[in-house]
Amino acid sequence: MTEKKTTAAQRDGTDWQPRIVAFLCNWCSYAGADLAGMSRNDYPAAIKIVRLPCSGRVDPMFVLKSFERGADMVLVSGCHPGDCHYSSGNYHARRKLPAFRELLGFMGIDPRRFKISWVSAAEGNKWSSLVADITEEAYALGPFQEFPKCTAPEKTG
């Protein structure tokens, strides 16, 4: 994967590239992504993968943290329900993460910037098309600056 540095100055330029942080479970989605690579599938390089043991390991605060650090989109991907390597990790994730997304949405953080998916180790193709799709969406949504850039109290009317 090629990586291009994206700076604030470039964000309006033609070479702006969304920054997508992906939390992948080790056993399914990470392996699926690996398979995509081994299958020499093309998919956008905007995605940056954090490998975790399980989607159940994804603390919702990682998502917030990623946005805080300037991610334009966050993806959490795990095993399909029933397939969890740890038997129920993805079931826990399936309760917490969507609830967290609701909370973010309620507070005005665009829930479209937070994706959740199930990709199995065999779904290399699903992985590449998923990444292509969400990257496309990230482009459409544009850079997400409201949250990371709000450290200084703004004067509001």
CA distance 60 to 125: 27
89 binds another protein (CB under 8 A): yes
Q: How many CB atoms lie within 10 A of CB 117?
A: 21
Position among 1, 4, 81, 145 found at the interface with another protein (CB under 8 A): 81
71 binds another protein (CB under 8 A): yes
Structure tokens at 122: 């065999």
Position among 102, 136, 142, 145 found at the interface with another protein (CB under 8 A): 102
C-beta of 145: minimal distance to another protein in Å? 12
β pairing state of 20-25 and 73-78? parallel
Quick one: which of 4, 3, 19, 28 has its CA closest to 126? 28
C-beta of 42: minimal distance to another protein in Å? 19
C-beta of 112: minimal distance to another protein in Å? 9
Q: Is 43:128 a contact under the CB 8 Å cutoff? A: yes
Position among 24, 64, 73, 138 found at the interface with another protein (CB under 8 A): 64
